Amino acid sequence: MRLALSMLTACGFAFLTACGSGFSGSTTSTTPGVVVLEPGAGQADDFFVAPSGTAPLAISAIAYSGSGQLATIVPDVSYTWAARFVNPATDPVSVATYSTGSAPNGFHACPAMPAVTPPVPILMQSNPSTNTTAYPGYALLPATSTANEVFLGAVPGVTPPYCLVILATSVPGNVIGSATAIVSYTP
């Protein structure tokens, strides 16, 4: 069930047709066919960011090759990252919904997009002395950097609730995985 929900989330951003029943693309073990985003420890298929939290949400990307039960993890893949606000009025339903892993389980519609939408900071762990964000021990991920794990927090100056879509693009392969996160005081 967890893999199925993760696949639905990964397929959500304009790739639902391409992902088909779960996996698509190359059947070799060196070329990604799909990229799946997984929330950090303690999360159950939900991407929830508490605005008053002291630590951002960890998000990892995993590339797979092949399909169905023959799908294998592709090693040595890095990812470039991007994020933006979700606009439920114009984004497809697959992007404008988020899932929760605990009761009540299921998909929920994202709230309206905030009036103010500054760039969404994607974070990486850092030395506390080089901290450049509201989260101690985290700094902004440079735009051209690659990483297998990033962190997503509340966007400074924006009043929750709102949804963010985060995208990971595989290097090599340029395969995109995505997930929608809810930033709210309760999921």
The percentage of the chain sitting over the pLDDT mark of 70, rounded to a whole number, equals 76
E strand residue ranges, 18-96: 34-39, 48-49, 57-65, 72-73, 78-85
Q: Are strands 48-49 and 176-183 parallel, antiparallel or unpaired?
A: parallel
* CB-CB contact of 112 with 126 (8 Å): no
**Pair of tokens at residue 8:** 């639905």
Residue 4: pLDDT band with limits 50, 70, 90: very low
Q: In whole angstroms, what is the distance from residue 31 CA to residue 23 CA? A: 13
pTM score: 0.78
pLDDT (tens digit per residue) in 30-79: 778 999 999 876 556 688 898 887 789 999 999 999 888 888 999 989 99
Helix (H) or strand (E) holding 134: none
- Among 10-19, 102-111, 153-162, the minimum mean pLDDT is found in 10-19
Q: State the average pLDDT over residues 89-102.
A: 87
What is the pLDDT at residue 178?
Answer: 94
